Amino acid sequence: MAILSFADLVNECTKQNKSIYEIAQEQESILLEDTIDVVRLRVLEDLLAMKEAVKNGLHSTEKSISGWCGDDCVKLPQRFNKKGALFGKTFEKIITYALATAEENLRMGRIAACPTAGSCGIVPSVIIAVSEEEKILEAEQINGLLTAGFIGLLISNKVQLAGAVAGCQAECGVASAMAAGALCQMLGGNTSQIIQASSLALKNILGLTCDPVCGLVEVPCIKRNPFLAVHAVTAAELALCGVESKIPMDEIVDTLKITGQLMSPLLKETSLGGLAKTKTAQELEKKLFNKKV
Amino acid sequence: MEQKSLFSVISPIMVGPSSSHTAGAVRLGLMARNIYNHEFTKVKFVLYNSFATTGFGHGTDKGLLAGVLGYSVDDSGIKNIFDTVSGVDYSYEYREDISRHPNSVDIIFDDKMTICGDSVGAGEIRINNINGFTANIDGSYHSLILMYKDRPGMISKVSDIIQKQDINIASLHCDRSSKGGTASMYLALDIPVGEDVVEKVRQIKDVFFVTNVRKLK
């Protein structure tokens, strides 16, 4: 049976007594006409590309083509090595890795779009940082990424994951919902808790607009990655404590879509409104076009 | 509803910063390269609308060039392609045209073939015109593209050759300049045809161009 909604997913998991990642890898193996091992190997390729992007991004200060961004990530360990972050090592790593990946993306480095290039730091930072600190094995990390992917897939069946279609809620917001589910899976959450984690993350980011300055994946996209990564952790922790969203996930996804439709086109990747129309953004735009000519 | 792959959400592995403006640009270049299917010394890119205005900051110019030179979307060499490319005369032109898609490009090889395409989001692309003939190629199928003098029986001649290989035609699209004028045919195939088939199609009377295009990864 084709699984098209989160309600279908819960039913299928219960009926077959399987985890979300098991359902995900089986469905993918049928679709790709290949074995589950091959599917997992492809997920591992993504995971390794994500780790490589973090590694490359951690120490680089190379600026983006515009020259605006690219030198923030290195500032984090400079402080954390002297004075640890209030929320501890895992928190330090999550925001550092998210920034490292997002900066690597803007300098034309190699990343895995997850679900998009602009939101590429969120899922990897949570999976990699928590795995390092909690000593989570690679196979479990793959299970986490499969869980994240399946959550994103079910959302994308209803809403196109693009800022131009539904704003940043459909890019960084969905990435955060995916990361929350992945984290919950890796920390031993059950199917219901995993979906609750995604629900809580997505519900609390509805309405986020896409207003990139000069149409570039830089301001505010880069820094949005560490913020939404931490947002995912809050959602996963709440869900693991047994906190539940009153509104079910399928209805939250419908709301995501409708909110996207209600959102003014000025706030959907056109750079005609929001932060892109601020005085400073317009000054940056003038400078950028002078540079281009 | 066609079932989508989970990897459409956690991939592709690509060089940044934008799936539509960078990865999409590379894929448009790759597809154009596959269609032209000849060595070339000169290539010109005409970028439209958002490709023209924000392409600079997204490396769209580098992505397009990398694509026509055969780089894959995750090749770290794309960033420095202007420093490494040699033997190809490349140029860019920037235009605004509201009748075109926001992320649109014309790729012109050796002043001989013009391929127009759009980057339609999430790295997906569509080639919609080849030398003035409408097309609808998204790179998801192996395909055969031919140009010929319009006359009765051409479709059956071509499909007969393909059918003899026991290959299924997933879709077929034809266009022509006028009755008896120049025409184009595009066949999407479930499995790729071999060079022997291409040669047989080429030998059909009045066919003056055939290209065998592999689907994009």
Three-state DSSP string of A151-166: HHHHHHCCCCCCHHHH
CATH hierarchy code of domain B142-213 = 3.30.70.260
Q: Is A264 on the interface with B (CB under 8 A)?
A: no
Q: Is A118 on the interface with B (CB under 8 A)?
A: yes
Give yes or no for residue A38 having a pLDDT over 80. yes
Q: What is the pLDDT of residues A120-158, one digit of tens each?
A: 999 999 999 999 999 999 999 999 999 999 999 999 999
Query: Chain B residue with minimal CA distance to A23?
Result: B6
Q: Is A44 on the interface with B (CB under 8 A)?
A: no
Q: What is the pLDDT of residues A47-81, one digit of tens each?
A: 999 999 999 999 999 999 889 999 999 999 999 99
Cβ separation A31–B3 shorter than 8 A: yes
What is the average pLDDT score of chain A? 96
Q: Is B19 on the interface with A (CB under 8 A)?
A: yes
ipTM over 0.90: yes
pLDDT at B2: 66
Give yes or no for residue A1 having a pLDDT over 80. no
Cβ separation B16–A218 shorter than 8 A: no
Cβ separation B10–A104 shorter than 8 A: no
- Residues B116 and B106: beta-carbon distance below 8 Å: yes
Give yes or no for residue A291 having a pLDDT over 70. no
**pTM as predicted:** 0.90
| CB pairs A-B closer than 8 Å | 136
Q: Is B6 on the interface with A (CB under 8 A)?
A: yes
Q: Is B4 on the interface with A (CB under 8 A)?
A: yes
**How are strands ordered across the β-sheet holding B169-176?**
B169-176, B182-189, B142-149, B207-213
User: Which two tokens mark A100?
Assistant: 């490292």
pLDDT at B54: 83
Cβ separation A153–B121 shorter than 8 A: no
Planar angle of CA A274, A70, A128, nearest 5 degrees? 95
Smallest Cβ–Cβ distance between A214 and the set B9, B13, B54 belongs to: B54
Question: DSSP label at B180?
Answer: T
Collapsing DSSP to helix, strand or coil, B90 comes out as strand
Q: Would you give per-residue pLDDT tens digits along chain B (217 residues)?
A: 567 899 989 999 999 999 889 999 999 999 999 999 999 999 999 999 889 888 888 999 999 999 999 999 999 999 999 999 999 999 999 999 989 988 999 999 999 999 999 998 778 899 999 998 888 888 989 999 999 999 999 999 999 999 999 999 999 999 998 999 999 999 999 899 999 999 999 999 999 999 999 888 7
pLDDT at A5: 96
Sketch out chain A's domains with CATH numbers: 6-292 (1.10.4100)
Q: How far is A83 from chain B (nearest CA, A)?
A: 32
Long-range contacts of residues A239-245, Cβ cutoff 8 Å, at least 24 apart: A239/A180, A239/A184, A239/A189, A239/A193, A239/A194, A239/A196, A239/A197, A239/A200, A240/A184, A240/A187, A240/A189, A240/A193, A240/A197, A242/A193, A243/A196, A243/A200, A244/A196, A244/A199, A245/A196, A245/A199, A245/A200, A245/A203
pLDDT at A293: 44
CA count, 13 A, side-chain hemisphere, A41: 7
Domain ranges for chain B, please list them. Answer: 13-131, 142-213
Mutation site for A-interface testing, chosen from B1, B6, B8, B191 by largest number of A Cβ within 10 Å: B6
CA distance B114 to A254: 42
Cβ separation B5–A31 shorter than 8 A: yes
CA distance A47 to A32: 19
Picking from B54, B9, B15, the residue whose alpha carbon sits closest to that of residue A212 is: B54
Smallest Cβ–Cβ distance between B54 and the set A104, A115, A216 belongs to: A216
Collapsing DSSP to helix, strand or coil, B96 comes out as coil
Q: What is the pLDDT of residues A97-115, one digit of tens each?
A: 999 999 999 999 999 999 9
pLDDT at B83: 96
Q: What is the pLDDT of residues A216-258, one digit of tens each?
A: 999 999 999 999 999 999 999 999 999 999 999 999 999 999 9
Name residue B133's beta-bridge partners: B130
Q: How far is A171 from chain B (nearest CA, A)?
A: 11
H/E segment holding residue B10: helix B7-10
Query: Which is it for the CA torsion B183, B186, B187, B193, positive or negative?
Result: positive
DSSP secondary structure of chain A: ----SHHHHHHHHHHHT--HHHHHHHHHHHHTTS-HHHHHHHHHHHHHHHHHHHHHHHH--PPPTTSS-S-STTHHHHHHTTS--TTHHHHHHHHHHHHHHHHHHHTT-EEE-SS-STTTTHHHHHHHHHHHHHT--HHHHHHHHHHHHHHHHHHHTTS---HHHH-GGGTHHHHHHHHHHHHHHHTT--HHHHHHHHHHHHHTTTT--B--GGG-S-TTHHHHHHHHHHHHHHHHHHHHTT---SS-HHHHHHHHHHHHHHS-GGGBSSSSSGGGGSHHHHHHHHHHHHHH-
pLDDT confidence tier of residue A292, bands split at 50, 70 and 90: low
Give yes or no for residue A203 having a pLDDT over 70. yes
Q: Is B10 on the interface with A (CB under 8 A)?
A: yes
Q: Is A4 on the interface with B (CB under 8 A)?
A: yes
H/E segment holding residue B104: strand B103-109
* Amino acid making up residue A289: F
pLDDT at A73: 98
Domain B13-131 falls under CATH 2.30.30.180: no
